[in-house]
Amino acid sequence: MLLLPASAMERPYRVSLVGDSYDGTSWRTGVRIELEEGWKTYWRMPGEAGIPPEFAWKTSVPAEVDVLYPVPGRYHDASGETVGYQHEVVFPITVTAPGQAAVTLDLGLFFAVCKDICIPAKAEASIDLGTSVEDPEGVARVEAFAKTVPLPGAAIASARVEVENGKPVLHLDLREKVGDIFVETTTTAYFRAPVFSADGRNASLVVDNADDPAKLKGQTLKLTYTKLGMGLEQSLRLP
């Protein structure tokens, strides 16, 4: 296992691959990013500003590598409204190599960290899955973050976009109260933090970077939201 050293004098992060559990079909490991106090890194949809992580993989045998994303937080700073993680995040990784009991996994990661300034960063790490070297602490850490990966949900009943005061606004009708809501599309539109009605059954999200709201028509929204400390997600098509 390769661990990139970090210190406040060098870089405000440390990246490693941790955990090596096997379920009989696939290996489970994780990309761990540790951050210095006050720094953050980004989710796959980074918010108003930021850089989503890019994972490049090499495996010693043919294998399928899948990345899961723990539910993020929303932050406000000098760069605007951003979506990501503080302190530490582990992205659970599933490695499936048919007929192979052992795999060497190499990671090339391009990402960004931000405090008062944002720094594009690169890191490399490697792990041998299926050796006699065990990592119970890493396995426990991966499992803990895997529990925060969003599960399928159905709390959002319908979605529509209306233009209000010259600005597109996404309106969501909710079957139940939820916490924060993160919206992804294939467009450049950014959906800001939700504002909830008094009864919590409706949410309104102002839409930025959508000069032509008509382009949102027919778009499929990927909606990730929090509820009682859990992450849930679902998709809805805009009329």
Q: Cβ distance 160 to 171 under 8 Å?
A: yes
Q: What is the CATH number of the domain that holds 228?
A: 2.60.40.10
Residues 204 and 128 placed together within one structural domain of the fold: no
Which helix (H) or strand (E) segment is 120 a member of?
A: strand 118-129
What digits encode the pLDDT tens for the residues 38-96? 999 999 999 988 899 999 999 999 999 999 999 999 998 777 899 999 999 999 999 99
Q: Cβ distance 205 to 225 under 8 Å?
A: no
pLDDT computed for residue 6 by the predictor: 38
DSSP for 61-110, written as a single string:
S--EEEE-----EEEEETTEEEEEEESEEEEEEEEE-TT-S-EEEEEEEE
CA distances (Å), 169 to each of 53, 81, 154, 157, 191, in order? 28, 17, 21, 17, 8
Residues 47 and 33 placed together within one structural domain of the fold: yes
Residue 215, classed as helix, strand or coil, is helix
Residues 141 and 209 placed together within one structural domain of the fold: no
pLDDT computed for residue 129 by the predictor: 93
Q: Cβ distance 30 to 145 under 8 Å?
A: yes
- The set of residues, in sequence order, having a beta carbon less than 8 Å from that of 206 and lying 6+ positions away, is 167, 168, 169, 170, 191, 192
Specify if 164 maps to a domain. Answer: yes
- Alpha-carbon span 69 to 131, nearest angstrom: 26
pLDDT computed for residue 1 by the predictor: 31
pLDDT computed for residue 11 by the predictor: 87
Q: Which of 90, 117, 146 is the last residue of a domain?
A: 146
Q: DSSP class of residue 139?
A: H
pLDDT computed for residue 7 by the predictor: 37
Range of the domain at 28: 13-146
The residue ranges of the chain whose pLDDT is under 70 are 1-9, 132
- Alpha-carbon span 201 to 183, nearest angstrom: 17
Structural domains of the chain, count: 2
pLDDT computed for residue 73 by the predictor: 95
pLDDT computed for residue 76 by the predictor: 85
Specify if 156 maps to a domain. Answer: yes
Specify if 6 maps to a domain. Answer: no
| Amino acid making up residue 17 | L
